[in-house]
Structure 1
């Protein structure tokens, strides 16, 4: 076969195969998005059902995130021991069980336990889905493929908002179906993972070289053997223990990943995603649950469309420009939201416009960009453990934000809260501008050389 023929067949095939594999793994992102967003609409009903105070409302919203911390803590060890694919499949089953549990609680404690279990599944999936996708993606389209995870997350968020709105007309019991419907994609993830390969980098770590080469031939085409050699060299150079994360060469990538993970959350995006309906009812005097929940559908749609733009841009413009644009614009949006709530009767269109713009610029840059970079920055042998640390930091930050928003708004006013988030956005901009390297177009092994 001539080289021109190889070029015309292998490379397109490798891209299409990687897309199919990543599409199945992205179901974990869909469940991630659905589970974090479904509480937005359910909260207004849960407050009535269980007579929740502001503190209990924060617990209802953040119990999932407490589970996410636990899931992120164990995800790296589990994936390095049992493989990316097997652990992702287990998380799919846990998603299904937790969805049923959240739909059928007899009291608030049972609800919290079910949501905590769902959080464990999210904590695992949030780390493993982008990690697995990065490890089965050709370098030239890796940013786009890993961003499919963010695309799936925002699709899940939009799906949750639509489900919430449609079921809000069913009365007080509608919130139970809001949680129960997640069983279907949960089982889809579990079944679908039987039809995708294990990560070639994990297979090399386990010395299953022929299997790794077979997978790489489907992913990389004619470059499979060269990629295999690069992976083998990378694996031989790393010892892969938690203590290795303290090695001098890993100080910078670990700091950057953890800092970016924390800042992505404390820029305040989850105040809109989790508490949108409560904000509309409490601050803007929305007359019905359905109206308040319906406003979130527009936010979910903008989030979805902006993420499509991100998929198109991230491998063209690179990670850094999108991250700086995103964090800079978010700083302005959060400040404008704070100013809007200073007005005696905040205009609903102004508040909605600020929320929409904030969500849009987050989805274009900081949303997918942070996940892509966290999956790219670390050497192969410690990638699972390092991402576990970064994801744990992310979920701790998300938990703190979600568990304190109503209390913070009460203590320093909602205007003060959004001004705090605006400052966090400025800090994110400065971190990216000064310290984050550009990884566009580089293989994972080439990125590793940046820290040597």
Structure 2
């Protein structure tokens, strides 16, 4: 951050909060580095370090302030050492060279994702034994409903309980405490599930499990992002989906490994997710607490600095980030010192147009992830393969391959997420996912005694999974974590997780009956059609966020939904047809810009009654 950036904050602080001029200036980009620099006032630095018990780090914070606020070349910063200079240069030249503590923290967060995936998949294999064990193995509506309810119990709990418990628990216990509590709940509930004597007991423990999974799902990815340097945050954000996919794969392997244990195999399958939970509980408190949590809860900048030093290559880097955070929060507190309650923040997700457009886009990507049908395959693949003629053991092996493809397919997302973009990945993969899903449905028409029947069913399901993994798999969580403003990010993410879980509940609850009534052919055709519905929703309601800063995302979501939809239908669709269907290489797409239109919009943004 340059000195003009500080001038920007001072200008903001002089304008009354809530005025149109304030909203206009706060949404514009910071002044460019070409503006006339002024000397850095270190008096503010001295006040900061004295007030926040950092006086013994005064020298490093002076250097940090010169870098943040000034325009002095790094090599000319007074007192900077060769080690500090090398660490700052490596931020861009060798961005993946980070302290072991940072990677250890990411590893612990990855164990949380593995736990998530394994817990979700345990029911896949258990579905082959639970119906018989509890006497709900007929094809009646009653038994189909009970089986769907047991499978959807965790999602229903995440939606109604887990996602919303995350905020208060995070506020009181911190990120590590929330992960510990969520994992402890998972440990107890997974153990209880494996010891259940009847289906009501199993349903109760699955509901408790959902509370733990919801807390972790809403916390782990935020925790990882808050300790990670900005330049590698995008790649780290994908790790949640990557390691969740690995947990799903491990779950399939575990389901197969205990197959020969007879009628009680389902108990071992449900107990399996305990294994990653134990190391997570033992290691989470060896990780540093989130620096952002220390700042948000009590402005404990000294503890935030100590925490950040453990995950940065030098104290100067940590001081630079801490002082930047201090300047931003000071400017924001001058602009708006009001305390907003949790319920008020929920309401503001829908009453403030900028937030409403963000939550609409987040809702669409989370809904689309469920409409595409991946979770139906993930949780019922063994049943689907068994119905297509596979033996019970063969169905489990086929599910293992599905889990492995899901895991491998997530790796390209690390590179493509910031290359092609979130929206582009969805628009590219959803049509092909619809085709493969429809093809898998048609494959069930091939007589079951022919090898082509097994080959086509399995191959098309695996291809569908390979298309899902780099697009619809990682995009929803990554997208939802970045579209909300900082003031509403936690509550926005809770709403996103609850949305995904709600629709997962609906789909899991209805799929056994759909499979019974429509048969595999009809069920797969239905989900092929839902992929097209998801494609249309993404096209109309999801703006691109690739490589956008927070200020630029404010611009993106300042555009009224009607304007965005009109642009997609009249400009983008026409350009796409000319460029990729008619192969007109000179086809030009005029970007949807904000400019003066944005400034005019900002002045009336809180009064207009447009679409979400």
What's 2:177 paired with? Answer: 86
CA distance, structure 2, for counterparts of residue 62 and residue 230 of structure 1: 46
* Larger mean Cα displacement after TM superposition, 413-422 or 371-380: 413-422
- The 8 Å contact of residues 264 and 366 in structure 1, kept in 2 or not, is answered as yes
Distance 1:334 1:303, change over 3 A: same
CA distance, structure 2, for counterparts of residue 235 and residue 410 of structure 1: 56
- The 8 Å contact of residues 64 and 119 in structure 1, kept in 2 or not, is answered as yes
How much is the aligned-residue C-alpha RMSD, in angstroms?
2.4
TM-score (norm 2): 0.69
Is the counterpart of residue 228 in structure 1 residue 325 in structure 2?
yes
- Unaligned runs of 5+ residues in structure 1 are none
Distance 1:219 1:401, change over 3 A: same
Partner-residue secondary structure (3-state), 2:288: coil
CA distance, structure 1, for counterparts of residue 372 and residue 263 of structure 2: 33
Is the counterpart of residue 100 in structure 1 residue 191 in structure 2?
yes
Give 1:235 shift. 6.0
Distance 1:123 1:6, change over 3 A: closer
Give 1:403 shift. 0.6
Task: Select which of 356, 364, 378 maps to 2:462.
Answer: 356
TM-score (norm 1): 0.92
Between Structure 1 and Structure 2, how many residues are aligned? 450
Give 1:272 shift. 0.8
Paired residues for 1:168-187 under 5 Å: 168-187=259-278
Give 1:20 shift. 2.8
CA distance, structure 2, for counterparts of residue 373 and residue 234 of structure 1: 27
CA distance, structure 2, for counterparts of residue 101 and residue 300 of structure 1: 25
Distance 1:219 1:228, change over 3 A: farther
CA distance, structure 1, for counterparts of residue 552 and residue 287 of structure 2: 26
Is the counterpart of residue 40 in structure 1 residue 131 in structure 2?
no
What's 2:105 paired with? Answer: 21
What's 1:212 paired with? Answer: 304
What's 1:373 paired with? Answer: 479
CA distance, structure 2, for counterparts of residue 106 and residue 374 of structure 1: 39
Partner-residue secondary structure (3-state), 1:85: helix
Paired residues for 1:232-251 under 5 Å: 232=329, 236=333, 241-246=345-350, 247-251=352-356
Give 1:290 shift. 1.5
Paired residues for 1:61-140 under 5 Å: 61-69=151-159, 70-140=161-231
- Unaligned runs of 5+ residues in structure 2 are 1-80, 137-142, 559-612
Give 1:8 shift. 4.6
Give 1:122 shift. 1.2
What's 1:256 paired with? Answer: 361
Give 1:252 shift. 0.7
What's 2:430 paired with? Answer: 327
Is the counterpart of residue 298 in structure 1 residue 298 in structure 2?
no
Is the counterpart of residue 268 in structure 1 residue 373 in structure 2?
yes
- The 8 Å contact of residues 234 and 380 in structure 1, kept in 2 or not, is answered as no
Give 1:329 shift. 2.0
Give 1:442 shift. 4.0
> By percentage of residues, which structure has more helix?
1
Is the counterpart of residue 399 in structure 1 residue 505 in structure 2?
yes
What's 1:315 paired with? Answer: 418
Partner-residue secondary structure (3-state), 2:484: coil
What's 2:38 paired with? Answer: none
Q: Which deviations, in whole Å up to 9, do the C-alpha atoms of 1:76-128 show, x marking residues without a partner?
A: 34324443221111001011101110111111111111111111111121221
